[in-house]
């Protein structure tokens, strides 16, 4: 009911680590500003300020740990922690006011948007040093439209079909056999016959089903079309969009009846409680599996191939990271040193010691946990990594325009009319 985790709330840090954003959007007051003192300053240290949105537990613990590690590495960090949702809502004012040198943000369009508005300092010099530590996909996701890198990626989580091994075993469906869309539909029929909801679907928040749209669109029409569509280079009135909706329509009979009444949490719980057989969701759904036995039963498979031309070459795997604001230009050496530190394994290993996750640095320690390992395997087998619909398109298009359109589709709306309205709304957007 009060789960209003908006797109910002999907941040792996806030969700995976068990901090439901809850009703904080309405209740969020002013900045919950808290300037933590930097640790005992080494005279030779440089000083940079950092704006953290990592306010939900264990965020403060993580922040304290890496700030201490940074001080040891020669950078005194003036930490400015802001409530997670407040930070997102005030990002425009924040970046135009007196921003910190370096701050938490996301990859993709939501970064490019600010880069284009001239509110960021490029991190090309940093990337020249850290290039070897990151897979090319991460570099691409950190690059603005002008070809310069702005982001230093920290961590990420993939979107995939999540299921319980025991449920699939009981129903006699072999996860490894789901290679094509037809296989998936056949499996759904088996699950339905056995009394399961084959696919749990949520879209109460308006963002949950975007992951399903993304994956079906990328499987049907390829990564490039998806990116073009998100950027407005391809039209929503393109017949290919209708193919995506038509494929999705095939799955609707296998979804729970009222997706608009379900959140990622409630739909994820259907899988946890073995009422539903699978869910297309970010791996943060594992946050629901607090019981160790349940967690060990959780697994994922990539969404199967639809168009053989594209196979399973793309996924959504949103990347979080840090950016340099305009203010960093006045404190560039220190800010760049801080960016470089955050790109290092010292940073990721410090965080892993507190809460294991997936880090962008390819040399980062990875937890041996099989579920984490399966996420690594999934992303390593993928050629193109998309961010997520609301991170790949204009923020004023994602909400409330696309979110409302998908909700309409899920409640039986006519896909042709929906696509037509989406294009008309895109065309009416103020120039970005």
Partner 1 sequence: MSNDVATTKEVKIAKADRKVRRRNHNFSNGDRATIATFVGVPTLIHIFMVWIPAICTVLLSFTFWDGIGGLKNIKWVGFTNYRQIVQLDADFGPAIRNNLYWLAVFALIATPLGILLAYYIDKNLKGTKFYQTSFYMPLVISLAVTGIIWDYVFNSDGLINSLLGNNTNDSAIDFWGDPHKNIWVVLFIASWRHIGYIMLLYLAGMKSVDPSLREAAAIDGATEWSTFRKVVVPSLRPVNVIIIVVTIIESLRAFDLVYIINRGTNGLQLLGVLVYDNILGSSMRIGWGAAYATLLFILCIGPIIVYLYQNFSRDE
What angle separates helix 239-251 from helix 415-428, to the nearest 10 degrees? 130
- Comparing CA positions, the residue from 195, 369, 168, 197 lying closest to residue 266 is 197
Select the residue interacting with partner 1 from 262, 297, 316, 320 (CB under 8 A): 262
Residues 268-287, mask of contacts with partner 1 (x by CB under 8 A):
-------x------------
- Beta carbon of residue 377, minimum distance to partner 1 (angstroms, whole number): 32
Q: Least CB distance from residue 424 to partner 1, whole Å? A: 5
- Can you tell me the distance from the alpha carbon of 71 to that of 324, in angstroms, rounded to the nearest whole number? 19
Rank residues 308 and 430 by Cβ distance to partner 1 and give the closer one: 430
Q: Contact letters (x/-) for partner 1, 95-114, by CB under 8 A?
A: xx------------------
Per-residue x/- track, 389-418, partner 1 (CB under 8 A): -x----xx-xxx--xxx-xx--x-------
Does 376 contact partner 1 by CB under 8 A?
A: no
Q: Kindly tell me which of 13 and 219 has the beta carbon lying closer to partner 1.
A: 13
Q: Which is nearer to partner 1, 340 or 392 (CB)?
A: 392
- Using CB under 8 A, count the residues that bind partner 1: 49
Rg (CA), the chain: 21
Phi first, then psi: what are they for 356, rounded to 5°?
-65, 145
Site string for partner 1, 23-52 (x = CB under 8 A): x--x--------------------------
CB of residue 62 vs partner 1: minimum separation in angstroms?
A: 25
H helix runs in 142-280, sequence order: 165-171, 181-193, 210-231, 239-251, 264-272
Q: Is residue 292 involved in binding partner 1 (CB under 8 A)?
A: no
User: H-type helices in 327-383, by residue range?
Assistant: 332-343, 345-352, 370-380
Calculate the CA 283 to chain-centre distance: 10
Burial class (CB in 10 A: 0-12, 13-18, 19+), 207: buried
- Counted residue by residue, the chain has a size of 432
Looking at residues 197 to 216 of the shown chain, list those that interact with partner 1 (rule: CB under 8 A): 197, 204-206
Q: Hunting for tokens 């991170």 — which residue is that?
A: 391
Of positions 97, 117, 129, 353, contacts partner 1 by CB under 8 A? 117
The residues, ordered by sequence, that sit 6+ positions from 273 with a Cβ below 8 Å of its Cβ are: none
DSSP annotation string for 137-153? HHHHHTB-TTS-B--EE
Question: Is residue 8 a contact point for partner 1 (CB under 8 A)?
Answer: yes
Is 18 a binding residue for partner 1 by CB under 8 A? The answer is: no
Comparing CB distances to partner 1, the nearer of 117 and 330 is 117
Interaction of residue 237 with partner 1, rule CB under 8 A: no
Question: Is there binding between residue 235 and partner 1 (CB under 8 A)?
Answer: no
Q: And the tokens for 41? A: 């300053």
Say how far apart CA 33 and CA 87 lie, in whole Å.
10
Query: What residue ranges bind partner 1 (CB under 8 A)?
Result: 1-2, 4, 6-8, 23, 26, 88-89, 92-93, 95-96, 117-119, 197, 204-206, 256-262, 275, 390, 395-396, 398-400, 403-405, 407-408, 411, 421, 424-425, 428-432
């Amino acid at each position: 009911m009060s789960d209003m985790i908006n797109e910002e709330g999907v941040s792996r840090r806030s969700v995976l680590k068990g901090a439901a954003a809850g009703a904080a959007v309405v209740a969020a007051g002013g900045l919950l500003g808290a300037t933590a003192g930097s640790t005992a300053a080494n005279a030779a240290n440089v000083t940079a300020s950092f704006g953290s949105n990592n306010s939900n537990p264990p965020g403060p613990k993580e922040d304290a740990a890496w700030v201490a590690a940074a001080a040891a590495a020669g950078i005194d960090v003036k930490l400015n922690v802001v409530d997670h949702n407040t930070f997102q809502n005030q990002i425009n004012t924040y970046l135009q006011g007196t921003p910190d040198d370096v701050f938490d943000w996301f990859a993709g369009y939501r970064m490019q948007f600010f880069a284009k508005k001239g509110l960021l300092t490029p991190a090309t010099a940093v990337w020249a040093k850290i290039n070897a530590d990151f897979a090319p996909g991460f570099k691409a996701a950190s690059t603005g439209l002008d070809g310069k890198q702005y982001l230093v990626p920290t961590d990420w989580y993939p979107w995939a079909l999540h299921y319980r091994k025991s449920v699939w075993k009981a129903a006699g469906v072999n996860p490894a056999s789901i290679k094509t869309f037809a296989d998936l539909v056949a499996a759904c029929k088996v699950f339905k016959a056995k009394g399961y909801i084959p696919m749990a679907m949520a879209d109460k928040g308006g963002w949950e089903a975007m992951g399903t749209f993304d994956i079906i669109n990328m499987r049907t029409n390829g990564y490039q079309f998806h990116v073009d569509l998100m950027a407005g280079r391809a039209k929503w009135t393109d017949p290919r969009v209708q193919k995506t909706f038509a494929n999705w329509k095939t799955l609707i009979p296998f979804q729970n009846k009222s997706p608009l009444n379900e959140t990622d949490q409630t739909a994820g719980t259907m899988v946890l409680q073995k009422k539903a057989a699978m869910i297309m969701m970010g791996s943060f759904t594992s946050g629901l599996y607090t019981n160790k036995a349940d967690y060990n039963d959780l697994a994922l498979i990539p969404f199967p191939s639809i168009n053989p031309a594209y196979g399973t070459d793309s996924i959504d795997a949103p990347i979080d990271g840090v950016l340099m604001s305009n203010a960093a230009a006045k404190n560039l050496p220190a800010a760049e040193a801080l960016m470089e530190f955050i790109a290092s394994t010292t940073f990721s290993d410090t965080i892993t010691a507190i809460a294991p996750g997936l880090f962008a640095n390819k040399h980062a320690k990875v937890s041996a946990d099989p579920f984490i390992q399966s996420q690594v395997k999934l992303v390593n087998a993928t050629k193109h990594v998309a961010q997520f619909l609301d991170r790949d398109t204009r923020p004023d298009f994602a909400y409330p325009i696309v979110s409302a359109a998908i909700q309409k589709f899920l409640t039986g709306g006519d896909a042709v009319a929906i696509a037509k309205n989406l294009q008309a709304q895109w065309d009416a957007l103020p120039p970005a």
